[in-house]
Amino acid sequence: MSTEQQKRPDERDAIVKSISRVVTLPEDEDQETLVHYYSQMLLVRRFEEKSAEMYNKARIGGYCHLNLGEEATVVGFCAGLGPKDYVYTNYREHGYAICRGISAKTVMAELFGKETGCSRGRGGSMHLFSVEHRLLGGYAIVGGQIPLATGAAFAIAYRGSDEVVVCQMGDGTTNGGPFFESLNLAKIYKLPIVFFIVNNQYGMGMPADKGSAVPELYRKGCAFDMLSERVDGNNVLAVRDAMRRAVNVARGQHEPVLLEAVSYRFKGHSVIDPDRYRNEEEVKQGRAQDPIPTFARRLLEAHLIDEQGLDRIEQQVEREVEEAVRFAEESPFPPIESLMDYIYAPDNVESERR
């Protein structure tokens, strides 16, 4: 898994650049799991479409960044983790929150700024959090989450427990000091952490290969002798497997790992971005990689599901998203009297040993 031999024989992590390929499903996968991945990807897709709609209806404010196009990466990422592992992300994290097990309701409620939201309405779209689900936050300062995640991994090593921290970030984040400092720190202290780059090929309007001296971002691991790998972010199984390999190394050997998933951002940087700066042809090609229909085709061809099955999932998902909106709508805003709560933690709150 070193930078030298990142291609795997079964090619699951090979990069599919332009044509979307249908790989037949490996034998060893069980049906339920595969179908579950599909419905999760679809849930993220529909949740994000709904988020955009709610944003345009002014139910959601501030900045709202979506995972549209990144569903295979998001689902594969979470599928590769254990329940006790910790996740840190950037502000484009709705999908991660949901796939980590936070209900679509509490996520949507957070986007609405309601007391029932997973951050009690204080954080909003960019700042989802749940101690229970070990999502330790979406962060909006580019790169800010990386030293935090490294410190969480330090705490795990300090305690000698066996969780792993996975820190998600975007391609544009890998040109900043916090990224590099953290990789060095994680390596010298031998911390159980996976740095996960979602290369959706843009940082706002900046193409990933324009802002970075090296176009293959996983290669930055070489400056730290860090195990590094690149994987096809449109292939949910490849992402999951790469994540599993990475997490195993981090857990078993306390070696940090750098993982890059190559994906594509379907829409603008955030809901308000009209996305005028990208070449149409390129966007068409990018969207042609859509991981969801591709995966559906694979399921159908492997006879793991039929059209009715897909429809049922579609309906379940729609219902779940509608439910989420209704719940968010009906939930109360935080009371004004609570404005000054949570600025300082009281002395008696013995900060939980997580």
Partner 1 sequence: MAEISFRQVLNDTLREEMHRDENVFLMGEEIGVFEGSYKITAGLLKEFGAKRVVDTPIAENGFVGMAVGAAMLGLRPVVEIMTFNFIALAIDEILNHAAKIYYMFGGQTPVPMVIRTPGGGGQQLSATHSQNLEAWFAHIPGLQVIAPSTPADAKGLLRTAIRNNNPVLFLEHLALYNNKGEVPEGDYTIPFGQAKVTKEGKDLTVISYSRKAAIAHEVASRFERENKLSVEVVDIRSLRPLDRETLVNSIKKTGRAIVFEEDWRSYGVGAEIVATLQEDAFDYLDAPIKRVASLEVPLPYSKPLELAALTGVQELEDAINALAPRRRRR
Query: What part of residues 320-349 is at the interface with a copy of itself (CB under 8 A)?
Result: none
- Nearest CA to 16 out of 316, 295, 286 is that of 286
- Which regions of the chain does DSSP assign to beta strands (E)? 86-90, 135-139, 165-170, 193-199, 202-203, 206-207, 227-232, 257-262
- Nearest CA to 154 out of 203, 130, 180, 188 is that of 188
- Contact call for residues 172 and 178 (beta carbons, < 8 A): no
Q: For tokens 């190394």, name the residue.
A: 249
Stretch that binds Mg ion, among 56-64, 203-211, 281-289, 313-321 (CB under 5 A): 203-211
Q: Which residues contact 235 (CB under 8 A, 6 or more apart)?
A: 12, 13, 16, 23, 72, 76, 291
What is d(CA 327, CA 47) in angstroms, rounded to the nearest whole number?
14
- What the block records as the tokens of 233 is 């972010």
Question: Which one of Mg ion, ligand TPP, partner 1, none is in contact with 120 (Cβ closer than 5 to 8 A by kind)?
Answer: partner 1
Q: Which residues contact 336 (CB under 8 A, 6 or more apart)?
A: none
Report residue 9: phi and psi, to 5°.
-50, -45
Choose, by CB under 8 A, the member of 181, 275, 318, 323 that binds a copy of itself.
Answer: 181
Q: Which of the residues 128 through 187 are near ligand TPP (CB under 6 A)?
A: 140-142, 170-173
Question: Which one of partner 1, ligand TPP, a copy of itself, none is in contact with 345 (Cβ closer than 5 to 8 A by kind)?
Answer: partner 1
Site string for partner 1, 319-348 (x = CB under 8 A): --------------xx-x-xxxxxxxxxx-
320's enclosing H/E stretch is helix 307-330
Choose, by CB under 8 A, the member of 140, 227, 243, 305 that binds partner 1.
Answer: 140
What is the crossing angle of helices 291-301 and 71-79, to 10°? 60
Choose, by CB under 8 A, the member of 19, 213, 336, 340 that binds a copy of itself.
Answer: 213
Choose, by CB under 8 A, the member of 38, 112, 224, 266 that binds a copy of itself.
Answer: 224
Tell me how many residues contact partner 1 (CB under 8 A). Answer: 79
Question: Which one of a copy of itself, ligand TPP, partner 1, none is in contact with 339 (Cβ closer than 5 to 8 A by kind)?
Answer: partner 1
Site string for ligand TPP, 83-112 (x = CB under 6 A): -------x-x--------------------
Q: Which residues contact 24 (CB under 8 A, 6 or more apart)?
A: 298, 301, 302
Choose, by CB under 8 A, the member of 177, 205, 252, 293 that binds a copy of itself.
Answer: 177
Question: Which one of partner 1, ligand TPP, a copy of itself, none is in contact with 277 (Cβ closer than 5 to 8 A by kind)?
Answer: partner 1
Contact status: 180 vs a copy of itself (CB under 8 A): yes
Contact status: 259 vs a copy of itself (CB under 8 A): no
Beta bridge partners of 206: 203
Q: Which is nearer to partner 1, 9 or 346 (CB)?
A: 346
Minimum Å gap between C-beta 29 and ligand TPP is 29
Choose, by CB under 8 A, the member of 113, 124, 178, 233 that binds a copy of itself.
Answer: 178
User: 333: which DSSP letter?
Assistant: P
Beta bridge partners of 202: 207
Q: Which of the residues 103 through 122 are near partner 1 (CB under 8 A)?
A: 113-114, 117-122
- Nearest CA to 334 out of 131, 148, 120, 61 is that of 120
Choose, by CB under 5 A, the member of 117, 137, 143, 170 that binds Mg ion.
Answer: 170
Contact status: 176 vs a copy of itself (CB under 8 A): yes
Binding residues vs Mg ion (CB under 5 A): 170-171, 200, 202-203
Binding residues vs a copy of itself (CB under 8 A): 175-181, 183-184, 187-188, 210-214, 219-226
